[in-house]
Structure 1
Amino acid sequence: MYSKKFARLAFGLLAESTFISRLTRNVSSKVKPLRSLCSWTVCQHHRQENQLSNGLTRLNVRTVSHTTLDPAEVRKFQAMASKWWDLQGDFSALHSMNDLRVPFIRDNLLNVHGVWQLGKPLTGLRILDVGCGGGVLSEPLGRLGADVLGIDPVEDSVWTADLHCSYDPELRERVRYQACTLEDLAEEEVEGFHAVVASEVVEHLADLDAFANCCHQVLKPGGSLFITTINKTNLSYVFGIVAAEQLLRIVPSGTHDWEKFISPEDLERLLESFGFHVDSIRGMMYNPLTGAWSWQQSTAINYALHAVKRKEEPQPDRVWAESENLNEPGQAKSYS
């Protein structure tokens, strides 16, 4: 009784708060050149640091040696591997999140790729579902026509996903699963996917630089990256940990570590430095009384992000070479 009263009071305060931001933060055309310039500068800095002995520069922005895998997180989800398809259990909030995240992914992919097939609008697109768990998100994307590969380091979760998918002949043709990490897959496949989805995943990873680097590597130029995660704010601690884990028991206690949460601003800067352009960020909220998610003006707790891998990255090495040629004897210096 007290937990429900707490939830009503807290959500009422949030709805009336004065820090609410706009509903959808779409990047305007005026801001894009500035972002591109900032990202070019970061890329230039990292390429300078990563020059090879033969004078060539690395394509990747940073040299990443760490793994995305956190053994402690693997143990958490290993214990819950058999519960993925319990609609009233630990993952019930993830099932209801599909009402927002599936249309968010679908509509943005249609805007980017301009494809449309009645009933199966994502036909012809390859999607990588990182941290797929039991396939809660992989399956609806497959039903929209996409060819989906779901990966997860927890083998029992992959087994659960594969078993559940096997009951639907249509899905067996489009959805498959593999027990591996993102960096393992990145070593095998380069620029093979039209989209990478990491929903409720980045807050469980050990190294976000490694994650961004691998996503960039497996995506086709112009491909999309979709992330849903939790902001790093006081409110996210109250709602995401105190309320969700300790009071309302929406998710098991210890599921989240507030120190691993990341703000949309920090996540955007990280992705921009790895060759992505962040297209939109939207606030989300879960109502434990109705069990439903809704889009919100505020990104203070949960948010969804869509980023696009740039088709052409700035090439500082080429700029430097041209500059050197211009400074050779007999060459006029241009400042235009």
Structure 2
Amino acid sequence: MKLVKAQKIIHEAASVYSDSQLIWTLQSKSWVFDECGTMWFKSYRKTFASLNRIKSYRQPWTRPYSTSQTTVDSNEVKTFLAMAHKWWDEEGVYAPLHSMNDLRVPFIRDNLLKTVANHHPGKPLFGMKILDVGCGGGLLTEPLGRLGASVFGIDPVDENIKTAQHHKTFDPVLDKRIEYRVCSLEEIVEDTEETFDAVIASEVVEHVADLETFIQYCCQVLKPSGSLFITTINKTQLSYALGIVFAERIMGIIPKGTHTWEKFVSPEKLESILESNGLSVQTVTGMLYNPFSGYWHWSENTSLNYAAHAVKSMVPGHSGPTEIVFKGEKEEPQAEASTIPGMHEELKK
């Protein structure tokens, strides 16, 4: 009976996903289960055409989360501790995050370049100081460092930071531009208030213990006119059916228990929290992952994943971004360039 129920949920979710022209649509097949729970594929179009009942699917049971002054959830720490050695396996559980760099790195780069008049042609983010919160093994930290930024990566999981530290040693340039620390966001607020030109929280806010406190701390460490970048998962019926039931329990694309649906946040709620902390939302756009091709795509649909960019309001008396030098690195920015030669190669290194 449980198998039949799971089959029904996925049938319904897939129908809505197809109707919305989302990437999760199976390119050629639909689900059929045998008595052992094995999944194989058959032609899906006729089957999916009549399955359009996901809107009536009951929302999962929800429970309130208590407000606290810590942003770290100890249960989440245990989950990621078990996977700390898998960060740089491009075909493993973090494969979707590796692929996500094709979208999130240009998204961050291009929006930050709107704030500067000149940039180094080979290192467009040179002179910018970025905080990567929940950096994990450094999957996003490293490409930002290659773009010239001075990046400070923090994570509460000690083994994650050990993995990140080890991996950056393969590139001497990154060793100058990237620093890592085992700590939570709140631990560095007092020492780094209004320090960073940008704060990145990519695939993080759905794991924190207190979202509002987390956003407040992000705002505190940002310079006036600094940028906050967030990628996360919308709180919808579809995100439950596909992000948890399908991705975790059926397909095993990510380990079971990685996400908690109650912690997902809608773009509307996130925007409200951002604006209440003095951040002006500039962009919210949908992100869709195709588990069969392994690629992400931008979309107007934010039913599942989405990216947001917000800017902290300007305060009189504060200057703009300043040059940051890590570990004695000394470079002089060159004149403005209309194009960024070799950008693709830089990101792939």
Normalising by structure 1, what TM-score?
Answer: 0.76
2:162 partner SS: helix
Partner of 2:273: 270
Identity between Structure 1 and Structure 2 (%): 57
Partner of 1:153: 156
Runs of 4+ that moved beyond 3 A = 6-13
Which residues in structure 2 correspond to 1:111-260 (within 5 Å)? 111-260=114-263
- Matches of 1:262 and 1:13, distance apart in 2: 20
Deviation at 1:115, TM superposition (A): 3.7
Amino acid at match of 2:151: V
Which digits, 9 at most, give the CA deviation of each residue in 1:201-257, with x for residues without a partner? 000000112111111111000000000000000010011101111122111000000
The answer to whether the aligner puts 1:92 opposite 2:95 as a matched pair is yes
Q: Is the 8 A contact 1:115 1:122 kept in 2?
A: no
Q: Is the 8 A contact 2:130 2:149 kept in 1?
A: yes
- Matches of 1:185 and 1:229, distance apart in 2: 23
Q: Is the 8 A contact 2:285 2:302 kept in 1?
A: yes
Which digits, 9 at most, give the CA deviation of each residue in 1:159-197, with x for residues without a partner? 000000011001101011000000001121111100000
Which has the larger share of helix?
1
Which residues in structure 2 correspond to 1:302-313 (within 5 Å)? 302-312=305-315
Amino acid at match of 2:98: H
Deviation at 1:15, TM superposition (A): 4.1
- Matches of 1:108 and 1:281, distance apart in 2: 12
Which digits, 9 at most, give the CA deviation of each residue in 1:80-137, with x for residues without a partner? 1111001111101000000000000000000123442111100000000000000000
Q: Is the 8 A contact 2:198 2:228 kept in 1?
A: yes
- Matches of 2:14 and 2:283, distance apart in 1: 25
Amino acid at match of 2:206: E
Report the count of equivalent residues.
267
Q: Is the 8 A contact 2:10 2:241 kept in 1?
A: no
- Matches of 1:65 and 1:222, distance apart in 2: 28
Amino acid at match of 1:137: L
Q: Is the 8 A contact 1:283 1:300 kept in 2?
A: yes
Partner of 2:301: 298
Higher alpha-carbon deviation: 65-74 or 158-167: 65-74
Q: Is the 8 A contact 2:68 2:210 kept in 1?
A: no
Deviation at 1:17, TM superposition (A): 2.6
- Matches of 2:221 and 2:194, distance apart in 1: 4
Normalising by structure 2, what TM-score?
Answer: 0.73
2:302 partner SS: coil
- Matches of 2:15 and 2:144, distance apart in 1: 34
Amino acid at match of 2:215: A
- Matches of 1:125 and 1:74, distance apart in 2: 29
Amino acid at match of 1:279: Q
Cα separation, partners in 2 of 1:310 and 1:10, compared to 1, 3 Å:
same
- Matches of 2:245 and 2:104, distance apart in 1: 24
Q: Is the 8 A contact 2:131 2:199 kept in 1?
A: yes
Amino acid at match of 2:287: M
2:190 partner SS: helix
- Matches of 2:107 and 2:124, distance apart in 1: 13
Q: Select which of 94, 101, 104 maps to 1:101.
A: 104
Alignment RMSD, CA only?
A: 2.2
- Matches of 2:135 and 2:142, distance apart in 1: 10
1:134 partner SS: coil
Amino acid at match of 1:189: T
Deviation at 1:65, TM superposition (A): 5.4
Amino acid at match of 1:132: C
Cα separation, partners in 2 of 1:9 and 1:168, compared to 1, 3 Å:
farther
Unaligned stretches of 5+ residues in structure 1: 20-63, 314-336
1:173 partner SS: helix
Cα separation, partners in 2 of 1:13 and 1:218, compared to 1, 3 Å:
same
